[in-house]
Structure 1
Amino acid sequence: MARQFRVIPGASAKLDPNAAVADVIFVDAKGKPTDIGGSAAAPYVLPAAAENALGGVKLANVASAGNANAAVGVAAGDAPTKAEHDALVAAYNDLAKRVNALVAGLVAAGVVKTS
Structure 2
Amino acid sequence: SDEELLLLLEMVNLPDIVGRFGGLDAELDWGKVLSVGEQQRLTIGRVLLAKPRYAMLDEATSALDIGNEEGLYLQLAGMSTTLVSVSHRPTLLKYHHQVLELPGDGRWQLHPTRDYRFDW
Same fold (TM over 0.5): no
- Bigger radius of gyration: 1
Give the structure with the larger helix fraction: 2
TM-score (norm. length: structure 1)? 0.24
Structure (1/2) with the larger strand percentage: 2
